[in-house]
Amino acid sequence: MRNKSFLSKIFIMFVLSGILIVAGCSSNDGGDSGATSDQTVVDVFQFKVEFKDQFENLVAQYQEENPDIKINVQTVGGGNDYAASLKSSFAAGNEPDIFNVGGPTEVEEYREYLTDLSDTGAAEAALEGTLSGVTDGDEILGLPYSQEGYGYIYNKEIFNQAGINAEELTTYEALEEAFATLDSQKEELGLDAVIALPAKELWVMGNHLANTYIASDFNDDILEAYEAGTIPFSKSDELQRMLDLQNEYSVQPVLSLDYSQQVEQLFSTGKVALIQQGNWIYPTVEQMDADFAENGIGMIPIPVDGLEGHLPVGVPQYWVVNSNADDATQQAAKDFLDWMYTSDAGKELVLNEFKFIPAYEGYDTEQISDPLSQDVYKHASEGNTIGWVFMASPVGWQEDSLAVGMQRYLSGDITWEQVIEQSRADWENSRK
């Protein structure tokens, strides 16, 4: 009797579990949001939240022209969250067909999932140098999103009032003098300080500021940086000098100053004369004050000795196609990417809706709408650029090692020599 009731318990448990599992699965139907059987479905998993709506419009337009293709777009925002969600969807076996990678480090991580894209029109049209982070031998594994650049973004009106010509600030000495001039006229110009250094944002210091002075260590080449066993830091004195200058003339305390304070609270409202940022701040400034954004701001390079007039320009993110997808899906994914970047309708949207600085040939660059992007594009097309080698430093090194060290230096915790020593040791350790 006892045995029997035990068995029936087990039986009931299994039945119940079965019901649960079946119930769980059945709700999964229609997950592909209504694709009909003769359609090829392409799942896109992308990270740029800022252009989600515009991108979905582009997808809708593409689907209208190609009724046999069904594209599902999923957008997950911001650096870390994207990487985490992408990883978990791979781990769960729910792999997207098109997704994004940031540079050589992620290319290596996802290497076995990446299809060769060298047969696409977009790969051929890509501007020189924009593919270096995603090339493996003959294979081109990714297609660039766009180009981005950063430097000092300044308030034209304040500079005019102070009698400073921004175009002439090509050397450190000139910049220092301009800072002093602005500082002496703070009252009249209505400034809180000359500049806002958001030292809380590790990426502003560790990625962007530092990159300006370490790119030449690797000849501006992403792949060279990716393979380097150590980092020479040959311009570390210049980096220190610039950081000190920014800190001296910044709104204090710098260590709790963040990106939104820098761009929205201080720069857009004219409380600082310039900030170190990139063309991506344009939409934010535009929201705060459209007229100011359109007519009142410009970008100049961060002065580096021997590289006067060079602006750091790079590719923030790449599109890649999953090699595990079946051939038809892969082809559909490639066609879609090609259409987006090389067809007339696609180009139009990329330029005017996405407001991208194109990383491809054959665009009417007169149409680049905002002044910051124009400045970046001008430098890029003239070849006056500094490479974004920070895309190829050891994972997390820029922020967790170098930028954290810089924060310590700013707080007086350690000396500059210790920052350099520690960062170099960390680089060497992770490249062993």
Partner 1 sequence: MNEVWFMENIFERVEVLVLKNRSLSFWLFVTPTLLALGLVVFVPFIYGFIFSFTDWNGLRATQFLGMEHYINLFQDREFLNSIWFTIKFAVVSIILVNVIGLGLALLVTQKMKSSNILRTVFFMPNLIGGLILGFIWQFIFISAFDSVGSLLGIEWLQGWLSTTGTGFWGLVILNTWQYGGYIMIIYIAYLEGVPGELIEAAEIDGANPFQRFWNVTFPLIAPAFTISLFLTLSNAFKLYDQNLALTGGGPYNSTQMVAMDIYNTAFSDYNMAYAQAKAVIFFILVAAVALTQVYYNKKREVDL
Binding residues for partner 1, rule: CB under 8 A, are 5, 8-9, 12-13, 16-17, 20, 79-80, 83-84, 87-88, 90-91, 109-110, 199-200, 202, 252-256, 261, 395-396, 399-400, 404-405, 407-408, 411, 413
Q: Are strands 272-278 and 193-195 parallel, antiparallel or unpaired?
A: parallel
Minimum CB distance to partner 1, residue 88 (Å): 8
The residue among 195 and 293 lying less far from partner 1, judged by its C-beta, is 195
The residue among 253 and 309 lying less far from partner 1, judged by its C-beta, is 253
The residue among 57 and 85 lying less far from partner 1, judged by its C-beta, is 85
CB atoms within 10 A of CB 287: 11
Minimum CB distance to partner 1, residue 149 (Å): 24
CB atoms within 10 A of CB 138: 7
Minimum CB distance to partner 1, residue 267 (Å): 16
Minimum CB distance to partner 1, residue 241 (Å): 21
Q: Measure CA 308 to chain center.
A: 24
Q: In whole angstroms, give the CA distance from residue 365 to residue 147.
A: 13
Minimum CB distance to partner 1, residue 279 (Å): 24
Minimum CB distance to partner 1, residue 287 (Å): 19
Burial 93-116, CB ≥16 within 10 A → b, else e: eebbbbbbbbbbbbbeebeebbbe
The residue among 350 and 404 lying less far from partner 1, judged by its C-beta, is 404
**What are the residues whose beta carbons fall under 8 Å from the beta carbon of 365, sequence distance 6 or more?**
358, 377, 381
First to last CA, the chain: 67
Do residues 258 and 264 make contact, with C-beta atoms less than 8 angstroms apart?
no
Question: Which secondary-structure segment (H or E) carries 40?
Answer: strand 40-46
Minimum CB distance to partner 1, residue 408 (Å): 5
The residue among 194 and 199 lying less far from partner 1, judged by its C-beta, is 199
**What are the residues whose beta carbons fall under 8 Å from the beta carbon of 351, sequence distance 6 or more?**
358, 363, 364, 367, 368
The residue among 17 and 74 lying less far from partner 1, judged by its C-beta, is 17
The residue among 201 and 370 lying less far from partner 1, judged by its C-beta, is 201
The residue among 303 and 405 lying less far from partner 1, judged by its C-beta, is 405
Please spell the DSSP secondary structure of 45-108, one letter per residue.
EE--GGGHHHHHHHHHHHHHH-TTEEEEEEE--SHHHHHHHHHHHHHTT---SEEEE-SHHHHH
Question: HEC profile for 375-414?
Answer: HHHHHHHHCCEECCHHHHCCCCHHHHHHHHHHHHHHCCCC
Minimum CB distance to partner 1, residue 284 (Å): 17
Minimum CB distance to partner 1, residue 242 (Å): 19
The residue among 216 and 262 lying less far from partner 1, judged by its C-beta, is 262
For 36, half-sphere exposure in the C-beta direction (CA atoms, 13 angstrom radius) is 4
